[in-house]
């Protein structure tokens, strides 16, 4: 081996033969030899840490001791050196003992006595030094070597060994361990294994009994062997295999069933985790075969039901505590702790012990074998004791059984059965015909549906929300429910609703994001009416949501709701007025809302109620939400609007609460953006609230009609906008800056409102709210009462405007009959029976009266595409027809003819004036926008698009203006032809009461409805004056207006005051112009029949007389205004609103302005009414700006008495210059006025 002449070549050869050949080991041997044989001092130079294997070192050292090359002391020093470097460990001691044992075996076989003595000396030295323990030596070394080393006594050791051997032999003979028992169990094993390859012989039970008796075998152990064989067979083959049947029959014939529960319990207690599945499978097989019962087996299963219940409670409490902490941030914790709290909900689904419980495994095995009658008692027992619910594989097994139960019926509903989709086939092969007529979605057997729910309901009851673990099962159930809820099939509808409300919808909360499955659920849910759907959503919602629901709902559902609320709030933090951002936020919200729409929309509505500027971005972010979620939002809106726990008024009791305003605005914006959402439920809810007299909900109606129906109303209009009210739709839209209505939204709102069962009840309810809020309402503040009255008026106007559009846009009712406006609206008598005031009834009927009058004028009644029944309905609204005259409200007044009454209420502002100046101004404005587009829009496409829009608008305005001029000419021609018959039939005794009758029946009921009606009233009677209507006294009319209309400010609301201001300004403008221009007076007033001194008299009112009367009128207005401002707390608000509208026509005297400014300064210093103070400041500013245009009353009186010269009219400097030009060219001025 490379060493110099060992003492015994044979021993050296044996020792070195134990080392593997190779260069590395050769180097090791050379290094060990060099260190050992050079000198004892070189032992420390042995670099054991550099040697590849320290075991080689130990082996070589023992080998050199055995051949006598080194002494035991030297070897001990080497081993100690190795232990210092390697470390004292059991591995070193075992390596030493193994090396000594190996060399002792080789030495004993070669009978080398000296080598044996060297090893004995080494063993003695190692034991004495404590390197190897005595126990290790006794355990591994031979008796002879231990005796030679002096570690044992040979005599004592021999006696002890003989005693142990005698005892072992005795026990073997006593228990027959070596022959009979082993042979008997071997024969049993062979007998059982033979069943795996051949059929069971008939003598099998007798053979087994013979083996037990012949070999005196333990019956319980034999039974365990049979059960083990059955356990293996259950996992290797199906439950119906011959082997399993044979073993089950064997157990039955042996008649050892009484001990089976105890044996199975013992096997469960000593079963390893990986064998639990097969053991549960065995138990399920025995239960299915009836070999054992459930009740005797349960006591032997661990843990017990009570412990399972405690485990379930602890786990549920852990999840609930984590759910309560979802989204919370603790300032005292670190970031890692906060992150752990936010994600604590999703840490664990079920406790680890719940996945490997014997009872759960048995249930799972029974479910896979479709043994529902055996599973149901176990599940009921678990639920009764509050033990762990089905989880993991058990849920999958229960879902599988549910699929198995519904498969016979679902196969008739699946698209594969209908053959709507076919696989691709190569050309030349005929395709399968699509849509076989013999296959349709029908349940031929009614009893099958009944049997289905007998199994389906208990299964779903036990599975509950666990059904969400299988999305395909949820989809199948949704399709079955959809079929059962069809209107023409009422079989199983009630059970289907319960299944949908108590299983499917709650399971959605923990369902993973699956839009397809959600759409299937919506397809089933939308078969129900909206009220029933909302009832389902209410059941799904429960008592509360998110953290408030913890403890009241299933802990998994509560956990999912808390997580959904947290993610929804995180997504809403990124909401901004940016379309790109809205897409990202919308996708994030939709992802959460697919499963938990109730939670998401609760968070959204709470944000909207607090921050009104988030309404539009949030609505834009809802584009990715599923139809089911949108329907849930309609329920949530009604639920939040009906919330009685919050006050709808602010703390001052005057103004509406911000949350209610924001929620109402959100309702309108939302339904405009998503008109496909169910609206009927909200309409019915609002009708119920109005029936109870809650007028605050008119705000929701206002937003719906404005946003969704396109019937927007401006409360405060400028002078230019007031003039634009007389134009057509295009001019009104351009001047009032209304957004274009959505056709889809208008159509959906018409489907909800324009029906016989809805339109008139809503109209009556809204109309009745005016009187209800005044006389029966529970409002304690006058300002709030005025706001409610104005809102009633506004909603009424919006509703009539919207319903009247159904004439052009017919809707389809539930019966399939088209229902235009003239069929929706009853006659005046029926509306009077519904307690609708005459002015409201006539306002609602005005579109139909105008349409009937226009058809009569143009002789186009035959060309109107309506049925004969509809024609008769339209004919009843003709102004000259007896049907309309007979249905007029009773008027106890002979000073007003029915003809004038109908003409007044049938015409609108569009009919009696043409706003040419407004049309020209708007056209000029749009042309300037074209020039701006040329300069500013750099993109050609955008510039071209903007220019095309502007040109189309201009063409529409021009065409609209020409049409309105033609229409105006027709109306004025008709009025001029009828000017003698309007009031000509009034008897002489009643002529002095004509003005009072006009005020009572025409002006006062209509002037406060809308600004358009207020302007109409002023222009209509101006036209009667210009036409010189018989028996119409303009002087008496203007006198009654000043004396009776202006004092109405004492009891007027804000909107009524604005309308009065518009009416009075339009009335006073010609009066003021005539006062300061004698030529105009003579031409426009003094020469007219209405300015006669008495009705029927030929003498006219002179200019001097008119100036005196005008001064009295001015003083009357001043007296009322000063009295109202001095009592500003009661009447100051309405008075200021009227005076602001009258600026420029009142006041005209400087001393009156001084008096008004004195009262305004007193109002501005008060502190209690900030709104009145702000209006006083505004009016004060306007009044100071017009001081230069005011005149002294003394100068006016002197000019009137001194000469007939014209007095400069009050107004601005521009108006003064315009008046001078008109004096120079009276013909042009006259022509312009006539136009």
For 954-993, the pLDDT digits (tens) are: 999 999 999 999 989 989 988 888 888 888 878 777 888 8
Could you tell me the pLDDT band of residue 1122, with boundaries at 50, 70 and 90? Answer: very high
1226 by DSSP, 3-state: which? helix
* From 30-39, 339-348, 990-999, the region with the lowest mean pLDDT: 339-348
> Cα(643)–Cα(633) distance, rounded to whole angstroms?
15
Q: What is the pLDDT of residue 166?
A: 84
> Cα(257)–Cα(292) distance, rounded to whole angstroms?
7
Q: What is the pLDDT of residue 1194?
A: 64
Give the bridge partners for 550, in sequence order: 553
Which position has the higher pLDDT, 86 or 474?
Answer: 474
1149 by DSSP, 3-state: which? strand
Residue 283 has pLDDT above 80, yes or no: yes
| Mean pLDDT along residues 136-157 | 83
> Cα(805)–Cα(746) distance, rounded to whole angstroms?
10
| Mean pLDDT along residues 1039-1047 | 90
Q: What is the pLDDT of residue 228?
A: 87
Query: Nearest-CA neighbor of 261 among 287, 281, 229?
Result: 287
Exposure string (b/e) for 707-734, b if CB count within 10 Å is 16 or more?
A: bbbbbbbeeebeeebbbbbbbbebbbbb
Which position has the higher pLDDT, 1174 or 1096?
Answer: 1174
Exposure string (b/e) for 121-140, b if CB count within 10 Å is 16 or more?
A: bbbbbbbeeebbeeebbeee
Could you tell me the pLDDT band of residue 713, with boundaries at 50, 70 and 90? Answer: confident
Could you tell me the pLDDT band of residue 198, with boundaries at 50, 70 and 90? Answer: low
Q: What is the pLDDT of residue 1140?
A: 92
Q: What is the pLDDT of residue 870?
A: 43
Q: What is the pLDDT of residue 1196?
A: 60
| Mean pLDDT along residues 900-917 | 90
Phi, psi of 812 (to 5 degrees): -110, 125
* From 78-87, 451-460, 544-553, 602-611, the region with the lowest mean pLDDT: 78-87
Secondary structure letter of residue 1132 according to DSSP? I
Could you tell me the pLDDT band of residue 1066, with boundaries at 50, 70 and 90? Answer: very high
pLDDT digits (tens, 9 = 90+) for 616-628: 999 999 989 999 9
> Cα(876)–Cα(1119) distance, rounded to whole angstroms?
48
Handedness of CA 495, 500, 503, 506 (dihedral sign): negative
Q: Which two tokens stand for residue 773?
A: 């809020």
* Cα atoms found within 13 Å of the Cα of residue 1094, Cβ hemisphere only: 3
Could you tell me the pLDDT band of residue 331, with boundaries at 50, 70 and 90? Answer: low
812 by DSSP, 3-state: which? strand
* From 121-135, 241-255, 1211-1225, the region with the lowest mean pLDDT: 1211-1225
Residue 1112 has pLDDT above 60, yes or no: yes
* Cα atoms found within 13 Å of the Cα of residue 546, Cβ hemisphere only: 19
Q: Which range has the top average pLDDT, 194-203, 660-669, 851-860?
A: 660-669
Give the number of residues written for the chain. Answer: 1235
Give the bridge partners for 656, in sequence order: 649
Phi, psi of 1092 (to 5 degrees): -70, 150
| Mean pLDDT along residues 376-405 | 73
| Mean pLDDT along residues 694-721 | 87
Q: What is the pLDDT of residue 596?
A: 92
- Count CB atoms within 10 A of the CB of residue 798: 21
Query: Nearest-CA neighbor of 1109 among 1139, 1151, 1081?
Result: 1081
| Mean pLDDT along residues 641-653 | 87
> Cα(398)–Cα(401) distance, rounded to whole angstroms?
5
> Cα(875)–Cα(881) distance, rounded to whole angstroms?
8
* From 419-433, 789-803, 1022-1036, the region with the lowest mean pLDDT: 419-433
């Amino acid at each position: 081996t490379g060493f110099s002449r060992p003492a015994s070549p044979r021993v050296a050869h044996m020792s070195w033969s134990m080392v593997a050949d190779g260069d590395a080991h050769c180097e090791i041997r050379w290094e060990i030899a060099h260190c050992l044989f050079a000198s004892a001092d070189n032992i420390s130079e042995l670099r054991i840490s550099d040697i590849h294997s320290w075991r080689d070192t130990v082996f070589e050292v023992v080998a050199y001791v055995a051949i006598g090359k080194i002494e035991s002391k030297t070897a001990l020093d080497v081993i100690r050196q190795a232990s210092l470097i390697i470390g004292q460990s059991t591995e070193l001691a075992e390596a030493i003992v193994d090396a000594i044992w190996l060399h002792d075996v080789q030495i004993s076989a070669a009978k080398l006595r000296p080598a044996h003595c060297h090893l004995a000396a080494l063993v003695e030295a190692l034991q004495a030094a404590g390197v190897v323990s005595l126990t290790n030596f006794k355990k591994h070394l031979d008796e002879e070597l231990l005796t030679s080393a002096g570690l044992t006594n040979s005599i004592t050791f021999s006696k002890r060994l003989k005693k142990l051997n005698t005892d072992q032999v005795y026990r073997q003979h006593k228990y027959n361990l070596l022959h009979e028992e082993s042979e008997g169990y071997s024969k049993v094993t062979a007998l059982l294994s033979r069943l795996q390859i051949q059929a069971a012989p008939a003598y099998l039970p007798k053979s087994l009994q013979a083996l037990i008796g012949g070999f005196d075998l333990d019956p319980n152990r034999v039974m365990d062997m049979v059960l083990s064989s059955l356990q293996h067979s259950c996992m290797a083959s199906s439950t119906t295999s011959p082997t399993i049947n044979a073993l089950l029959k064997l157990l039955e014939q042996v008649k050892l069933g009484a001990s089976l529960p105890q044996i199975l319990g013992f096997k469960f207690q000593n079963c390893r985790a990986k064998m639990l599945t097969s053991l549960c499978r065995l138990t399920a097989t025995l239960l299915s075969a009836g070999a054992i019962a459930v009740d005797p087996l349960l006591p032997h299963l661990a843990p017990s039901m009570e412990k399972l219940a405690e485990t379930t409670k602890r786990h549920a409490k852990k999840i609930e505590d984590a759910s309560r902490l979802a989204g919370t941030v603790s300032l005292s914790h670190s970031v890692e702790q906060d992150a752990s709290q936010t994600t604590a909900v999703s840490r664990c689904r079920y406790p680890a012990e719940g996945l490997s419980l014997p009872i759960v495994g048995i249930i799972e095995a029974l479910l896979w074998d479709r043994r529902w009658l055996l599973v149901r008692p176990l599940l009921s027992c678990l639920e009764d004791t509050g033990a762990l619910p089905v989880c993991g594989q058990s849920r999958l097994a229960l879902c599988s059984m549910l699929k198995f139960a519904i498969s016979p019926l679902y196969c008739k509903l699946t698209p594969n059965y209908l053959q709507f989709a076919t696989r691709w086939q190569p050309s030349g092969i005929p395709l399968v015909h699509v849509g076989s007529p013999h296959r349709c979605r029908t349940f031929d057997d009614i009893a099958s549906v009944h049997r289905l729910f007998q199994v389906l309901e208990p299964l779903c009851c036990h599975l509950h929300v666990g059904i969400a673990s299988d999305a395909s099962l949820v989809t199948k159930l949704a399709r079955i429910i959809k079929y059962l809820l069809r209107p023409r099939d009422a079989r199983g509808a009630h059970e289907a609703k319960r299944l949908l409300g108590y299983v499917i919808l709650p399971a959605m909360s923990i369902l993973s994001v699956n839009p397809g499955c959600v759409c299937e659920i919506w397809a089933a849910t939308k078969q129900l009416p909206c009220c029933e759907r909302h009832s389902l959503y209410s059941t799904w919602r429960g008592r509360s949501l998110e953290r408030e629901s913890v403890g009241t709902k299933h802990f998994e559902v509560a956990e999912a709701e808390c997580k959904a609320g947290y993610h929804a709030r995180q997504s809403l933090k990124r909401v901004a007025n940016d379309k790109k951002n809205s897409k990202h936020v919308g996708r994030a919200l939709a992802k959460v809302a697919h499963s938990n729409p109730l939670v998401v929309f609760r968070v959204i509505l709470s944000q909207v109620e607090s921050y009104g500027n988030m309404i539009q971005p949030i609505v834009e972010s809802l584009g990715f939400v599923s139809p089911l979620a949108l329907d849930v939002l309609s329920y949530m809106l009604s639920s939040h609007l009906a919330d009685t726990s919050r006050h709808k008024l602010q703390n001052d009791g005057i103004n509406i609460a911000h949350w209610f305003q924001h929620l109402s605005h959100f309702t309108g914006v939302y339904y405009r953006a998503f008109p496909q959402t169910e609206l009927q439920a909200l309409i019915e809810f609002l009708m119920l609230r109005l029936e109870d007299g809650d007028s605050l909900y008119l705000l929701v109606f206002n937003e719906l009609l404005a946003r969704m129906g396109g019937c927007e109303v401006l409360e405060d209009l400028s002078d230019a906008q007031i003039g634009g009210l007389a134009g057509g739709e295009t001019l009104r839209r351009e001047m009032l800056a209304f957004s274009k209505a959505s056709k889809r939204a208008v159509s959906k709102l018409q489907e909800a409102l324009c029906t016989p069962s809805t339109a008139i009840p809503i109209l009556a309810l809204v109309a009745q709210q005016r009187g209800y809020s005044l006389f029966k309402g529970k409002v304690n503040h006058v300002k709030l009462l005025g706001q409610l009255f104005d809102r009633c008026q506004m909603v009424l106007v919006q509703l009539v405007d919207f319903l009247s559009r159904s004439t052009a846009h017919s809707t389809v009712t539930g019966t399939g009959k088209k229902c235009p406006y003239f069929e929706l609206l009853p006659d005046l008598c029926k509306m009077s029976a519904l307690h609708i005031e005459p002015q409201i009834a006539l306002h609602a009927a005005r579109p139909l009266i105008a349409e009937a009058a226009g058809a009569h004028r143009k002789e186009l009644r035959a060309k109107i595409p309506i049925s004969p029944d509809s024609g008769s309905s339209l004919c009843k609204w003709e102004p000259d027809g007896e049907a309309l005259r007979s249905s007029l409200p009773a008027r106890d007044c002979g000073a007003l003819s029915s003809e004038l009454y109908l003409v007044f209420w049938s015409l609108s502002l569009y009919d009696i004036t043409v706003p040419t100046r407004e049309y020209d101004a708007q056209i000029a404005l749009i042309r300037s926008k074209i020039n701006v587009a040329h300069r500013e829009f750099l993109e050609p496409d955008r510039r071209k698009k903007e220019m095309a829009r502007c040109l189309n608008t201009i063409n529409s305005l021009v065409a609209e203006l020409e049409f309105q001029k033609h229409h105006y000419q027709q109306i004025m021609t008709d009025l001029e032809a009828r000017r003698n018959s309007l009031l000509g039939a009034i008897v002489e005794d009643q002529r002095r009461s004509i003005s009072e009758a006009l005020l009572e029946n025409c002006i006062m009921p209509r002037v406060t409805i809308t600004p358009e009606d207020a302007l109409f009233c002023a222009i209509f009677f101006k036209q009667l004056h210009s036409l010189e209507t018989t028996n119409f006294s303009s002087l008496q009319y203007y006198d009654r207006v000043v004396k009776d209309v202006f004092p109405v400010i004492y009891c007027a609301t804000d909107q009524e005051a604005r309308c009065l201001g518009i009416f009075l300004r339009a009335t006073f403008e010609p009066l003021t112009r005539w006062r300061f221009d004698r030529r105009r007076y003579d031409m426009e007033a003094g020469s007219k029949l209405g300015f006669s001194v008495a009705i029927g008299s030929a003498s006219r009112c002179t200019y001097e007389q008119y100036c005196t009367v005008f001064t009295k009128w001015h003083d009357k207005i001043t007296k009322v205004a000063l009295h109202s401002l001095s009592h500003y707390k009661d009447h100051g608000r309405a008075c200021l609103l009227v005076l602001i509208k009258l600026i420029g026509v009142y006041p005209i005297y400087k001393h009156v302005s001084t008096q008004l400014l004195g009262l305004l300064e007193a109002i501005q210093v008060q502190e209690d009414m900030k709104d009145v103070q702000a209006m006083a400041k505004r009016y004060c500013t306007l009044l100071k700006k017009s001081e230069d245009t005011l005149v002294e009353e003394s100068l006016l009186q002197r000019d009137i008495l001194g000469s007939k010269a014209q007095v400069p009219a009050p107004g601005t400097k521009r108006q003064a210059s315009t008046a001078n030009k008109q004096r120079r060219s009276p013909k042009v001025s006259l022509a312009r006025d006539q136009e």
